[in-house]
Chains A and B, each alone.
Chain A
Amino acid sequence: MKGDIIIDAKGIIKRYYIGQPNELEILHGIDLLVREGEFVAIVGASGSGKSTLMNIIGVLDKPTEGRYLLDTVDVVAAKDKELSEIRNQKIGFVFQTYNLVSRTSALKNVELPMLYAGMKSGARRKRAKELMGLVGMEERMHHNPDELSGGQKQRVAIARAMANDPAIILADEPTGALDTKTGRMVMDIFHRLHLEQGKTIVLITHSPELAEETERILTLSDGMIIGERRGLGHAPI
């Protein structure tokens, strides 16, 4: 339901232990609340703890302390296998470096999360083709990733992120490796997914201009959220 809380994180602390006396605390108690259908940006310079926070939101890592409910599922208490299932069902990753699996076609890449979800091959293929249509990649969907341009790869990656209809799309610098024009195109796809499909999107970026396009901007510095403001909520005109 629109307005339901999707990300409910409270007092997230992440520490790394590099030998006993050298305790390194990256995140110092972060509270984060994201509702369904929101388009949120987390902005921060490098070294601000952005990546660590993304890993925790993306269930790739667990916080040392704190509470984190993702779509009402308690992530902190989950076991390895359950974490895999949460990543599979609730989160769609879009990486800066696309991270498509080479040697298999773009279409197979989009099928991958559905394969891990145990979906039948016919249904998988049908859904993957629909998603390829959604990102405008149906013409080149049988090509391998190394035959695609950066923008095309990122569109495939977005289609893959959408595969299991996740609760959130987590985009980590999605335009970081793209030129302005293709970066614009990728951002437009996010806006479309947000407006037309009501997807919850969390954008992690170092670029304030990009963050400005989202509805809500959280600024991260030195492992703490130091500011929150409203953004445009649409692409600049």
Chain B
Amino acid sequence: MLLFENFLLALSGLRANKMRSILTMLGIIIGIASVIAIMTVGNSMSGSITASMSNMGASNITVGLSQISTSTEVTQSGMRFNRGPRYTQYSDDDLITEEMLNELQKTYPEDVTGFLLDKSVGSAQAKDGQLYANISITGANQTSIENDDLTILAGRLFTDRDQDEAKKVCIVSDYFCNNLFNGNVDAALGKEISVLLSGKYCHYTVVGVYEYDASSNFSSSSEEDTSTTLYIPLLTAFNQVHEDPAYSQLTLTSSATTDVNTFMSTVEDFFNSKYYRKNESFEVSCSSLTSLLEEMTSMMSTISLAISFIAGISLLVGGIGVMNIMLVSIQERTKEIGTRKALGATNASIRTQFIVEAIVLCLVGGFLGIAIGCAIGVFAAHQMGYDAYPSMGGIIFSVVFSMAIGVFFGYYPANKAAKMNPVEALRYE
């Protein structure tokens, strides 16, 4: 009851002394605004990075062969090199087979959701009379092609039957269509194209056209010469090069609930104890984007901490400003305090009144700071090309913190007011 009355009183006091209040709040406004701005930018950055990383597959684990280092020597200049066989090309026996992958999936059905399997066939050129298009042929299984998140302009992705029966079908880019089909993507569908690959012509039927994302690839060649990926079913690719399906590197997709870091070592153990124990030159090792992400997050929070520290100093100065103006205000209103005491105000109610006033001052400053900080943060995030995510935690923290400043820096002046002798206070002119 009294609190609410005090709150209204404090607000009207603020309105009555607009200029003075704003100048007093400036420290708080700047402090809170910079914290909020920085947190908004940081939040937007890490939010966007996390989003794009999970697009890229933060839960993906890259599983690959790596050479066993027998021992590591360090030269005088600090260079490290591995002793033993300098470099050995892995043979077909070293590769990870379908059988191993099936076994892995069977052993950890909870964690393994699938495998992204690719087979690079090589660079080639598709020809139709004088017309040509540069391509690199990649065989991809269904999971892998879905993971690439292609924008299909016409036609479709591969069907399970295309994959299982190793059909000679392909998905081409719109650049490819520009070169060979005069930009008509629908005209490309169902056409058989001829590809010159290591001196031989192969023939694939176009079943789909995807949109080539020029921004994600750096190419110095002109648009006509840009080499784009031509997708074919995985088995088709192995057939093309006359190999059995086996991989030196693949990507494992884990379920969302899987702890990627621990599962990585589990997978390594699985392969190395079961299949690679006797292999002298190679073992299986895993890596993932999660560790990278963690590193970036920790870097961000270090930066945030540093800037928060500076903002903290600004808030401290702002708080002292509030205390100063409260002391001035109490001095000015000595007679009012005396009057209130004569009317029956207890020390506690005087104290509450002035603490509430300091809190209101700080809170209004805090809200202004939050508004300004969000505006700056959102603007900056947009300028840097991130989606803006204002930090809710930061906003709540700021509100609580500015209240705390009000209490902390308001207490001393309020207590001084509360302890005033009513006789002297009434006599004050």
A112 at interface, CB cutoff 8 A: yes
Identify the closest chain A residue to B427 (Cβ): A51
Task: Please state if B349 and A104 are interface contacts (CB–CB under 8 Å).
Answer: no
Which of B9, B335, B344, B423 is within 8 Å of A84, CB to CB? Answer: B344
Instruction: Please determine whether B343 and A112 come into contact, CB atoms closer than 8 angstroms.
Output: yes
Q: How far is the CB of A99 from chain B (nearest CB, A)?
A: 4
Alpha-carbon distance A164/B342, docked complex (angstroms): 13
| Residues of chain A whose beta carbon lies under 8 Å from any beta carbon of chain B | 55, 58, 60-61, 80-81, 84-85, 87-89, 91, 93, 95, 99-104, 112-113, 115-118, 120-121, 160, 164
Q: Which residues of B contact A121 (CB under 8 A)?
A: 1
Residue from B342, B345, B346, B347 within 8 A of A93 (CB atoms): B342
B residues engaging A (CB < 8 A)?
1-2, 5, 9, 12-13, 16, 335-336, 338-349, 422-423, 426
The residue that A88 contacts in the complex, of B9, B16, B344, with Cβ under 8 A, is: B344
Known: A99-B426, A101-B336, A104-B9. A115 touches B2 (CB 8 A): yes
Query: CA separation between A88 and B344, bound complex, in Å?
Result: 4
A-B pairs with lowest CB-CB distance, top 7: A88-B344, A99-B339, A84-B346, A116-B344, A60-B422, A113-B343, A87-B344
Once the chains are docked, how many angstroms separate the CA of A160 from the CA of B342? 12
B contact patch SS: helix
Residue of B whose beta carbon sits closest to that of A92: B343
Write the chain B residue with the least CB distance to A89: B344
**Residues of B with C-beta under 8 A to A112:** 340, 343
Q: Is the CB of A113 within 8 A of B344?
A: yes
Pair B344/A101 contact, Cβ less than 8 Å: no
A75 to B423, CA, bound (A): 16
The minimal Cβ–Cβ distance linking B14 to chain A, given in whole angstroms, is 10
Write out the residue numbers on chain A whose beta carbons fall within 8 Å of the beta carbon of B339. Answer: 95, 99-101
Q: How far is the CB of B337 from chain A (nearest CB, A)?
A: 10
Residue of A nearest to B346 (CB): A84
Q: What is the minimal beta-carbon distance from A30 to any residue of chain B, in angstroms?
A: 17
- A88 close to B1 (CB less than 8 A): no
B347 interface neighbour in A80, A101, A113, A164, Cβ under 8 Å: A80
- Choose among B344, B349, B423 the residue that contacts A55 (Cβ–Cβ < 8 A): B423
Do residues B342 and A87 form an inter-chain contact, with CB atoms below 8 A?
yes
CA distance A199 to B116 in the complex (A): 96
